[in-house]
Structure 1
Amino acid sequence: MITGELKSRVDRIWNTMWSGGISNPLSVIEQLTYLLFIKRLDELHTLRERKAARLGGAIEDPVFSEAQDRLRWSRFKDFSPEEMFETVRDEVFPFIKALGTGNGDEEGTTYSHHMKDAMFMMPTPRVLASVVDQLDGIDMTDADTKGDLYEYMLGKIASAGQNGQFRTPRHIIQLMVDMTAPTPNDRICDPACGTAGFLVAASEYLRQHHADAIYRDEASRRRFNESTFHGYDFDSTMLRIGSMNMLLHGVENPDIRYRDSLAQADETDAEKYSLILANPPFAGSLDYESTAKDLLQIVKTKKTELLFMALFLRLLQIGGRAAVIVPDGVLFGSSTAHKSLRKMLVEDQKLDAVISMPSGVFKPYAGVSTAILVFTKTNSGGTEHVWFYKMEADGYSLDDKRNPQPDKTDLPDLVARWNDRAAEADRKRTDQSFLVPKAEIAANDYDLSVNRYKVVEYEAVEYDPPAVILARLKELDEEIARGRSELEELLSK
């Protein structure tokens, strides 16, 4: 996480754009995304220049031609505000929008593809010059610094109270990644990727735990950068922001593309992924006409939360695993579709865990109660026991302010118990976590709400006999009467 001077600089950049008239926090992020992309292109070109100088040859796959030299960040940053504004608006933006039509190395990436729809919204030359100057003053040669900077800016979307639905709290994402423990052999997918938070966290986990494997040779590096991470979204702004988020976290060319996951059936993606991490939007109901028919064959419903579960099952390979966030209604809904989906998870697949989260986790923009489902696709059953955990605290206050409370968190305990589930067999139903056998879940109509199985202990409270209580009340009445008499006597003097 960034702190101190760097955090202050980002705040100043944000305030500069805000005071300049860009009031939508999503637009602020989008414009900064474009500028960071332009800066990134200049960095790539500079690296190739240095390599050519060392080898004494021509620049290999230059990003900018000699005629386009003035479009480089390192050049236009020294222009006057008016000249910089005209250059960026009339030349640089058309340049980055045209990159996707080229055949070079950087030109073929997912970032340049999504940049084709970029719109220049900087209001004045003064604002652009100030932002460029401030961004240029931040040393972003370190990948961690670039990633942390972008994560901090994304966090300001939620703190601004707008468009927060695009962002799952980072510590919840990290929890789900830690529980699924991605490996270098995984193909990871988020069918509703938004800002790509799950994919970013998975990439950081792989670098932290499997750096030797993912960077062992050129083939391994290419697989990590191009074949490991896959994300869909139907919001072009989110695609651009998510792509840049991945780039700044060191993933060069992930597969992030436009798709309405519930409305488009792409058979090439069926049983393609070994790990799904997701918190899809739950908008309520869809029309049958707009819903992929293969999903309706899995579960006949208009409810988006159930259709996404059907989508996860279709996308996963046999043996693939998933950790996904669902609204509580999925756990205990009484409709035929709800029951059939839960039965499918318990009987036909391997349901590993149900983690109940407090309703304040997604505040300030949503107070809905949610849970994390962890399961493995087998198509042949395998559920023997389901692990339940009732999360009471996540390290933040559960009100709209969501202030940090590091001393109040269940997450370390949750991960530790998840990693030692064999020891959970002896836990009582009064504990925070416990195992429930499949037969009991089936007998309860496949209800997966933790409160169905958790036992609450009530402490016996002993009260005084009624005669004693009445005597005490009589004494209080007498005391009140004496006080009133004393007050009346004082007032009469």
Structure 2
Amino acid sequence: MLHNNQILKALIDRLWNNFWSGGISNPLTAIEQITYLIFMKQMDDLEAKREREAESLGEVYTSKFDGMFKVPGSEEEISKQDLRWATFTSSMSGEALLHHVQTKVFPFLKEFEGGFKFTKAMASAVFIMPKPSLLEEAIKIIEEIFIEIKKDAIEGGHAFQDIQGDVYEMLLGEIASAGKNGQFRTPRHIIKLMIDLLQPQLGQRIVDPACGTAGFLLGAYQYILTDLVKKDNPEALQPDEDGFMRATVSATLNENLKHIVEESLYGYDIDTTMVRLGLMNLMMHGINQPNIDYKDTLSKSYNEDSQYDLVLANPPFTGNIDKGDINESLKLVTTKTELLFIERIYTMLKMGGTAAIVIPQGVLFGSGKAFVECRKIMVEKSELKAVISMPSGVFKPYAGVSTAILIFTKGSESSNVWFYDMQNDGYTLDDKRNKIEKSDLLDIVQKYHNRNSAPSIDNQRTVNFFTISKQEIVDNNYDLSFSKYQEQVYEEVEYEEPKVIFEKLETIEANIIKGINELKELF
């Protein structure tokens, strides 16, 4: 939707450039500060809406901005009305504005009694704004962005909530230098692929144990919305830029359905910044009370076993963690997070629950004991449904590591495993990641869902997808790499007889000598 609005795109670029030129060059720091400003505006807008609704109904409403606020670290008390976005952005400027926001508005935001889970995540937040001009320009651009969102909603017939969500997703898309501790944003089209493979349903409990900016939870939310629209108004569906059918009607959810969806989505992360960004991402898309919390799902403090119908994740590949921090319920003898997360995801699933996770391809064939035991969990204790290998450029510019998607259902054992070797994800595989026509994504979805009804192609392992029996995988030490089972096709090349080759070389040599002699005669 947003790709059609060049004005919004230009404003977002301006906002980012404002922070970079203003001295905040770290994209993660910049998006945090932008998020705090957006939350300040959201608080005021939401309260203003509630006040208008109460007035139109003739009801009494006590605003969260009524009363006085004691400024931390001082004896000063000020009216909460002075902490509203509409008030301070119109009445202050320069150093006075920066001081007011930094010492009064931001502390109030951290204690805001609006029922927001975002407020809880603000405990350790810090407001960093090096100069007044940066704050003034940021406020101006954010105001312009929301004016354009309203205009687009009216003229373009789009829901305000959906455009607002798209804007925040685009802001998050600028975090191209992330990657510390193995964290980087999963490309949106890969998330949509994994969501379409699992097909989440309304009422299912869905979790991401390392949720980052909540891309998987948002993807599940949008798929569920699409599924609801498909049943009532299928003509409203349109393919997006990657070919996936998606509806953009989050604002039309009735309160009952919204409550069901909100109580279905859960996310955890060990980075408080990511928790805040994930919360805001879902809030901007219409989920008022997201269930995202600060928690290390590999640690001793996490014990939510057998709670979820679906797990969607791209856990960080950080290498190793402290052995003493690992939850005792995890039995794999390893400190490698990519292996521990697979076991953790297995334990989080209800019996019959399904997971789709991204893993580094080394997990597919590693010969160490922990690697083999990890694969056994998916093959012997679960039904390993699919192994989808992805090209190494999928996660550029963040990382060039080769990855794969694993899909497994807890409970029954595997009988056959479906393999697919993705060649194209719809984008160039260099750092630029430009859109291209070739894409295997929809083909993967279609072939995966038809894998049991389609004729067996076990004897056609020269193509980019095939089915392998569990027994063959066991016989190969649970190796899950595509290349292990693919049959290589070798083209026969005929070479000339050595005698003929030597004759040709002699002719070439004679011509070279002749040419040299002719050159000598010129001097």
Normalization by structure 1: what TM-score? Answer: 0.92
Separation in structure 2 between the aligned mates of residue 291 and residue 358 of structure 1, nearest angstrom: 32
Q: Which residue of 2 aligns with 1:293?
A: 328
Aligned match of 1:85 in 98, 122, 130?
Answer: 98
The answer to whether the aligner puts 1:63 opposite 2:53 as a matched pair is: no
Q: Which residue of 1 aligns with 2:389?
A: 356
Alignment partner of 1:309: what SS? helix
Identity %: 45
Distance 1:161 1:96, change over 3 A: closer
Q: Which residue of 2 aligns with 1:423?
A: 454
1:59-138 paired onto structure 2 within 5 Å: 59=61, 62-65=63-66, 67-82=79-94, 83-99=96-112, 102=113, 107-138=114-145
Q: Which residue of 2 aligns with 1:5?
A: 7
Separation in structure 2 between the aligned mates of residue 56 and residue 456 of structure 1, nearest angstrom: 76
Q: Which residue of 2 aligns with 1:23?
A: 25
**Letter of the aligned partner of 1:278 in structure 2?**
A
**Letter of the aligned partner of 1:390 in structure 2?**
D
Separation in structure 2 between the aligned mates of residue 55 and residue 485 of structure 1, nearest angstrom: 105
Alignment partner of 2:30: what SS? helix
Deviation at 1:279, TM superposition (A): 0.7
| RMSD of aligned residue pairs (Cα, Å) | 1.9
Deviation at 1:289, TM superposition (A): 1.3
Gaps of 5+ in 2: 68-78, 151-159, 233-249
**Letter of the aligned partner of 2:376 in structure 1?**
K
**Letter of the aligned partner of 2:11 in structure 1?**
R
1:64-463 paired onto structure 2 within 5 Å: 64-65=65-66, 67-82=79-94, 83-99=96-112, 102=113, 107-139=114-146, 140-141=149-150, 142-158=160-176, 160=177, 163=180, 165-211=183-229, 218-225=255-262, 227-267=263-303, 269-296=304-331, 299-378=332-411, 380-381=412-413, 383-399=414-430, 401-421=431-451, 422-423=453-454, 425-426=456-457, 428-463=460-495
Separation in structure 1 between the aligned mates of residue 494 and residue 289 of structure 2, nearest angstrom: 67
Alignment partner of 1:108: what SS? coil
Alignment partner of 2:204: what SS? coil
Alignment partner of 2:386: what SS? strand
Contact 2:296/2:302 (<8 A) preserved:
no
In the comparison of the two structures, how many residue pairs are matched? Answer: 476
Q: Which runs of 4+ in 1 moved over 6 A?
A: 212-216
Contact 2:184/2:398 (<8 A) preserved:
no
**Letter of the aligned partner of 1:467 in structure 2?**
K
Alignment partner of 1:157: what SS? coil
Distance 1:130 1:405, change over 3 A: closer
Contact 1:81/1:128 (<8 A) preserved:
no
Deviation at 1:64, TM superposition (A): 1.6
Separation in structure 2 between the aligned mates of residue 8 and residue 292 of structure 1, nearest angstrom: 47
Alignment partner of 1:294: what SS? coil
Separation in structure 1 between the aligned mates of residue 313 and residue 103 of structure 2, nearest angstrom: 39
Alignment partner of 2:90: what SS? coil
Gaps of 5+ in 1: none
Contact 1:34/1:118 (<8 A) preserved:
no
Separation in structure 2 between the aligned mates of residue 473 and residue 345 of structure 1, nearest angstrom: 59
Deviation at 1:121, TM superposition (A): 0.6
Alignment partner of 1:147: what SS? helix
Q: Which residue of 2 aligns with 1:466?
A: 498
**Letter of the aligned partner of 1:231 in structure 2?**
G
**Letter of the aligned partner of 2:141 in structure 1?**
Q
Separation in structure 2 between the aligned mates of residue 190 and residue 307 of structure 1, nearest angstrom: 15
Deviation at 1:68, TM superposition (A): 1.6
Deviation digits for residues 43-80 of structure 1 (CA, Å, limit 9, x no counterpart): 11111121112112222x52321632222222222133
More divergent stretch after superposition (115-124 vs 422-431): 422-431
Deviation at 1:341, TM superposition (A): 2.0
Separation in structure 1 between the aligned mates of residue 102 and residue 17 of structure 2, nearest angstrom: 22
Deviation digits for residues 145-168 of structure 1 (CA, Å, limit 9, x no counterpart): 21111111111111x466582311
Distance 1:372 1:410, change over 3 A: same
Distance 1:458 1:363, change over 3 A: same
Contact 1:352/1:385 (<8 A) preserved:
yes
Separation in structure 2 between the aligned mates of residue 324 and residue 34 of structure 1, nearest angstrom: 31
